[in-house]
Structure 1
Amino acid sequence: MSVRATWQFSLELIIHNKLLHSPHRTMNASEASMFYVPFYGALASFCYPLQINFTFPINFTEYAGELSTFLMQQTPFQDGRPHVMALGKIEREMRAVGYPIIPRSHLHHMVFVGIEQEINDEYRKFYTSGLAPLIVAPYPSYGHLLGTSGTISTYLETLYREPRNVFILLAASTRRSNPFRVILLDQFAKSATRVSYTDYFSTRYNGSMTDTIWLQTEECNNQHENETVSWMKRSVFCLQPPGDSPTRKSFYDAVVAGCIPVIFRGNSHVIYPFETKLNYASFTVSINETEVVHKHVTRILAPFKTIHREKVKTMQQGILNVLPWLQYNYPPDHNSGPDALDMILQEIVHKFNI
């Protein structure tokens, strides 16, 4: 596995680059079943509010308008043929006022691929009238399976050979972005650390299982991604509380590292990638948020302590079954094995009935 500093906003770059190297690509427009639009909307949106320091400031509304004008001048688009675009920010932000890339009525035969679908039904109804649903794709994780199918098989076969001596890991920054997250951070405060797995256990490990660890992640630290993945590869369960939005990139970091993700359910259903094809119950633990509120960390531990070792092994096998589909292989060439892009393309084919 290759560990790289890939963030959620990398989705546009990754999908574009992988499609450029895809064996399905054709340079003959008449042969194409669908067209990919390499518009880096999420990356461009970052420039808009920060344009004070730019020599050539970007007005995102005008930028998106230029794209629409260009597309409407192209014959395949005029003919209503399927078009696809990736969005590296969550759906709510890409539909927000000032970033109007999605709510354009003439893009009705455009399918968007993004990392999170809005969970508020009323909000979605207001902004998505007449538009195709968003295809939810995995966040780009830090970990990427390498190259050929043989290399991938070797990684999967060896993923659980090393001991996992952290029972529950919470990898999260100290940001207190929502009330539920605050409760969880407070409950894990006594087990907080910022050091690497190796440094921590070189002085503290006595051979027994450590119940809880809060790895306080520092996103500007150059080694942050390596340290996070190292901790996850030695942990059994990885907590995934909501952050700034209901979903987390850390969920996919955990999967690639073989750490069983623990999802906290609220009042709304959160859509995860490829739900019709992947059985999330087979490799995740789901807990109602109300079960955690006001409880001490030892009581949070209680339900996990009742999970039988064989059940843990079954969930770990479930991770092995889905892992390739929830990450993006590296390098992104046509010789790499199956990954999330294959599932995304299947979803697109289904949406357009190609």
Structure 2
Amino acid sequence: MEKFNPKMKKIVKKRAPKPLIEILPTPLFSMLLLLHINQIATYLFLSDKDYANITVNDKQGGTDTCAGRYVYIHSLPSRFNDDLIKNCEAYIELRNKCKYLVNSGFGPRILEGDHNHTTRVLTTETGSWYSTNQFMLEVIFREKMRHYECLTNDSSLSSAVFVPFYAGFDVRRFWGYNVKLRDELSEDLAQWLRERPEWKKMYGRDHFFVTGRVGRDFRRVTDQDLDWGNKLMRLPEFENITMLSIETNSWSNNEFAVPYPTYFHPKSRTEVKRWQRQVKMTRRRHLFSFAGANRPEIRESIRGEIIIQCLASQGRCKFLDCDTSSKDCSDPVKVMEVFQDSVFCLQPPGDTPTRRSTFDSILAGCIPVLFSPDSVYNQYRWYFPKDHTKYSVYISEKDVKIGKVSIENMLAGISEEMILKMRSEVEKIIPKIIYTKPGAVGLEKIQGDAFEIAVARVLKRVQDAMDLTTT
């Protein structure tokens, strides 16, 4: 087995260049400005490696504010990312996802004319609202990473290495096919990484990647064709690499959960604050709501009981039925309207412990009601207060299933003072669970969104691994 090499690389600082206007003759300034504009235009079409070249030249002048935060992006062969989405329509399992790839994975923009009440529900900044699919995170994250302020094309300076692999698209391509085909690209990537000089630095412990699927999809236990997913995270190389996913296995030591993408991708602090004010001032007509479908095929599901209690509440609960042909649950405006109208939003487990709906409801300022610790408490520890009673209500699944608890009575018993405190905490969480539009600069730059929190935590994890080997 290869041994871990903790040797650090020294960061070399460069002197700040003189401002362009001081060193150039005035007659040439206009011409060079035009060339600069052309360079910005080509910036939109650069590779991961080219993005790093531009950013590091900007950031290494003067005081090095990026020391300890540099990230190097592997320039992967296109078969590991771009080709997967370029050929999206070729795969049955991916065809209904292809339309959401526009706008760097944010999906189609929600325009004001799409609904008569769009502005009332989503604020006037409709340009920041998108029909974002819940499984697009790896595409979104890669675009955000390309705009990360501390990129470097010199891997010896980097504290972490990003692997822009579209693992979620890969695992879905051959869902029902033989396991050899499902594992082929993962094994190919493992070999490609082993052969890179960057691998020798920490043998993968400084590498990380992001997937828009849940963690279990990459931990197939057997090699039987009927078994679920692929074995990416069971490959020896990936036992060292950090995986960020929308849901993870709580027992794994190299998987970490990051928020599902929501519909809101603002570009400025002003937009975020305005949205927070809107959800704070919104009049909520329903005590609680549930947006979802029954799961009779899942024996342990409590959704059937939740729907029964909701419908019996005589209007105190709003039920948005996701098991109908109306497609209301795939309409961002209708979903957000229900959540904005509710004080509490019920979030029982579905096919997996967590629901994207949990993050949409928090975005709407609705207090989540959780029925399993694995839904949020045991997973998204980077993003939520340790004391879950500050922002959520917990009701045991077992108590609901055996009819021991009335959800309506329990929620109605919470004081108005406590509700206001919980809503205030939920509003504080909003900036942490959104993926903002990349590229904002200056005072309006949004600090501490879901992306920035994830990258900061990865860097700390790598540094902790370094410290552990040097003590």
Indicate whether 1:230 and 2:337 are aligned.
Answer: yes
Indicate whether 1:71 and 2:193 are aligned.
Answer: yes
Q: Is the 8 A contact 1:136 1:271 kept in 2?
A: no
Q: Alpha carbons of 1:344 and 1:29: their partners in 2 closer, same or farther (altered >3 Å)?
A: same
Paired letter, 1:17: E
Deviation at 1:266, TM superposition (A): 6.3
Q: Deviations over 1:224-259 (max 9, x none)?
A: 222111111111100000000111111101110111
CA separation in 1, counterparts of 2:274 and 2:310? 37
CA separation in 2, counterparts of 1:268 and 1:225? 22
Q: Is the 8 A contact 1:183 1:294 kept in 2?
A: no
**Aligned with 1:252 (options 359, 370, 383):** 359
CA separation in 1, counterparts of 2:239 and 2:379? 23
Q: Alpha carbons of 1:49 and 1:277: their partners in 2 closer, same or farther (altered >3 Å)?
A: closer
Q: Is the 8 A contact 1:217 1:224 kept in 2?
A: no
Indicate whether 1:162 and 2:255 are aligned.
Answer: no
CA separation in 2, counterparts of 1:158 and 1:189? 26
Deviation at 1:32, TM superposition (A): 1.7
More strand by share: 1
Indicate whether 1:332 and 2:463 are aligned.
Answer: no
Higher alpha-carbon deviation: 215-224 or 91-100: 215-224
Higher alpha-carbon deviation: 162-171 or 105-114: 105-114
Quick check: which has more Rg, 1 or 2?
A: 2
Q: Alpha carbons of 1:353 and 1:90: their partners in 2 closer, same or farther (altered >3 Å)?
A: same
Q: Which residue of 1 aligns with 2:130?
A: 4
**Aligned with 2:261 (options 123, 130, 140):** 140
CA separation in 1, counterparts of 2:279 and 2:376? 31
CA separation in 2, counterparts of 1:310 and 1:268? 26
* Partner SS, residue 153 of structure 2: coil
Paired letter, 1:231: V
Q: Which residue of 1 aligns with 2:154?
A: 28
Q: Which residue of 1 aligns with 2:316?
A: 211
Paired letter, 1:190: L
Deviation at 1:183, TM superposition (A): 3.6
Paired letter, 2:164: P
**Aligned with 2:230 (options 99, 102, 112):** 99
Q: Alpha carbons of 1:41 and 1:304: their partners in 2 closer, same or farther (altered >3 Å)?
A: same
Deviation at 1:290, TM superposition (A): 2.2
Deviation at 1:277, TM superposition (A): 6.1
Q: Is the 8 A contact 1:116 1:271 kept in 2?
A: no
Q: Is the 8 A contact 2:244 2:256 kept in 1?
A: yes
**Aligned with 2:413 (options 299, 303, 306):** 306
Paired letter, 1:289: E
Indicate whether 1:184 and 2:305 are aligned.
Answer: yes
- TM-score, L = length of structure 2: 0.62
Q: Alpha carbons of 1:24 and 1:43: their partners in 2 closer, same or farther (altered >3 Å)?
A: same
Q: Alpha carbons of 1:246 and 1:334: their partners in 2 closer, same or farther (altered >3 Å)?
A: same
CA separation in 2, counterparts of 1:149 and 1:189? 37
Q: Deviations over 1:112-171 (max 9, x none)?
A: 10122225xxxx5xxx5xxx4212111112x32411112211211221222100111001
Q: Alpha carbons of 1:26 and 1:5: their partners in 2 closer, same or farther (altered >3 Å)?
A: same
* Partner SS, residue 312 of structure 1: helix
Q: Deviations over 1:48-101 (max 9, x none)?
A: 12679xxxxx92211111111111111111222611111222112221245111
Higher alpha-carbon deviation: 259-268 or 161-170: 259-268
Q: Which residue of 2 aligns with 1:341?
A: 451
Q: Which runs of 5+ in 1 are unaligned?
A: 53-57, 193-208
- TM-score, L = length of structure 1: 0.82
* Partner SS, residue 59 of structure 1: helix
Q: Which protein has greater RCO, CA pairs closer than 8 Å, 6+ apart?
A: 1
Q: Is the 8 A contact 1:22 1:334 kept in 2?
A: no
* Partner SS, residue 291 of structure 1: helix
* Partner SS, residue 96 of structure 1: coil
Indicate whether 1:295 and 2:403 are aligned.
Answer: yes
Q: Alpha carbons of 1:167 and 1:186: their partners in 2 closer, same or farther (altered >3 Å)?
A: closer
Q: Which runs of 5+ in 2 are unaligned?
A: 1-121, 123-127, 222-228, 465-471
Indicate whether 1:88 and 2:212 are aligned.
Answer: yes
Q: Alpha carbons of 1:108 and 1:96: their partners in 2 closer, same or farther (altered >3 Å)?
A: closer
Deviation at 1:219, TM superposition (A): 9.2
Indicate whether 1:60 and 2:159 are aligned.
Answer: no
Q: Alpha carbons of 1:219 and 1:117: their partners in 2 closer, same or farther (altered >3 Å)?
A: farther
CA separation in 2, counterparts of 1:169 and 1:265? 18
Deviation at 1:31, TM superposition (A): 2.1
Q: Is the 8 A contact 2:175 2:182 kept in 1?
A: no
Q: Is the 8 A contact 1:264 1:288 kept in 2?
A: yes
* Partner SS, residue 163 of structure 1: coil
* Partner SS, residue 144 of structure 1: coil
Q: Alpha carbons of 1:191 and 1:48: their partners in 2 closer, same or farther (altered >3 Å)?
A: farther
CA separation in 1, counterparts of 2:373 and 2:454? 26
Q: Is the 8 A contact 1:145 1:152 kept in 2?
A: no
Q: Alpha carbons of 1:334 and 1:96: their partners in 2 closer, same or farther (altered >3 Å)?
A: farther
Paired letter, 2:347: Q
Q: Alpha carbons of 1:274 and 1:291: their partners in 2 closer, same or farther (altered >3 Å)?
A: same
Q: Which residue of 1 aligns with 2:241?
A: 110
Deviation at 1:184, TM superposition (A): 2.6
Deviation at 1:22, TM superposition (A): 1.5
Paired letter, 1:302: N
Deviation at 1:296, TM superposition (A): 8.3
Q: Alpha carbons of 1:277 and 1:155: their partners in 2 closer, same or farther (altered >3 Å)?
A: closer
* Partner SS, residue 234 of structure 2: coil
